[in-house]
Amino acid sequence: MKFLQSSGSDKEDAKQQMIWGIVILFVMVSVWGLVDLLTKTFMSG
């Protein structure tokens, strides 16, 4: 939303925020998968 409403240097800032948002989302999903893997590994036996 911020990207659509901005212009000039604000657009670059909004683009940077979108990139960081995607990176953080990827990290969160990766950690979630790792926790699930560890849980299944140590809780199954």
Summarize pLDDT for 5-38 with one digit per residue, the tens.
666 777 788 889 999 999 999 999 999 999 999 9
pTM exceeds 0.75 for this model: no
Residue that has been written with the tokens 């199954």 in this structure: 44
Alpha-carbon distance of 40 to 18, in angstroms, equals 33
Helices and strands of the chain, counted as H and E runs: 2, 0
The pLDDT score that the predictor gives to residue 4 is 66
Q: Is 7 left (phi over 0), alpha (psi -120 to 50) or beta?
A: beta
